[in-house]
Amino acid sequence: MDLWLIAYFFLGTVAGFLAGLLGIGGSVIIVAVLTMIFDAQGVAHEHVLRLALGTGMATVIFTSLASLRAHHRRGAVRWDVVRDMTPGVIIGTFIGTRIAGIVPTRGLALFFSFFLICVATQMALDLKPSAKRNLPGRFGVAGVGVGIGALSGLVAVGGGSLTVPWLSWCNVRLQHAIGTSAAMGLPIAFFGTLGYIWQGWGRSGLPAATLGYVMVPVLATIVVGSVLTAPFGARMAHALPVPTLKKAFALLLTILAVKMVWGVWS
């Protein structure tokens, strides 16, 4: 068996376990590690990060489907918010993937590293906004969707680190904020993946078996690994010291961000 496929499968198992255990989107760790693996494989430098972003975004389609189903069964999805936010999210996601396709690789890597550090800080300090206002009207929700979609598309995440805090700030119950964020992850991931396919379509120097900036065999291998371990991680969330593990994971994200910046500037 190809040793690289084993590495992808192992990455999927780790990402799935962490997603189930800590409630985070596995795409953050997937993108960071794929960047290093693709670089080690000798993928053309100008394509490394964009391939990692596109492939990582595609994995979110599958994880968000499973998460959405679970939250919908519990009645924790605000479908009115999903309805109002989705048009803005679609527009914003295409904007984000378009930006990712045209900005210089160095700038894209620095921005992704900065995002990793922000996520790590929020996780380590367990920062949560207090409820201070109500949801805006339809156009306001759609406008916020544009911003969340653009940033999510740019860094290839399902948007949970953005949607949950915003909904909590708007007096939405935390359970409903998490469930609604899971539902919003699906259009973000689907249209974000389409955006990365479109941005990479016909580019020269891409590896075999790619759809634009999505590496299909890598995607399939990671998804299989993550599907196997995500339920186990969810069960272990009740037995392990999650707050301590979140701080350890935040440290890992910071190390990956620093390594990425070092790689870009060296």
Give pLDDT tens digits for 141-194.
Answer: 999 999 999 999 998 887 777 888 899 889 888 788 888 888 898 899 999 999
**What is the pTM for the complete model shown?**
0.89
Higher pLDDT, 216 or 234: 216
Contacts of 197 (CB under 8 A, 6+ apart): 54, 211, 212, 213, 214
Would you list the domain boundaries of the chain?
3-265
Other Cβ atoms within 10 Å of 94 Cβ, number: 19
Q: Does residue 156 come out as left (phi exceeding 0), alpha (psi in the -120 to 50 range) or beta?
A: left
pLDDT band at residue 126 using 50, 70 and 90 as cut-offs: confident
The closest alpha carbon to 213, from 260, 159, 153, belongs to 153
Q: Which two tokens stand for residue 185?
A: 């992850």
The closest alpha carbon to 60, from 27, 24, 91, 97, belongs to 27
Write out pLDDT tens, residues 50-108. 999 999 999 988 888 877 787 788 888 899 999 999 999 999 999 999 999 899 888 88
Contacts of 30 (CB under 8 A, 6+ apart): 11, 12, 15, 52, 55, 56, 59, 222
The closest alpha carbon to 101, from 218, 201, 211, belongs to 201
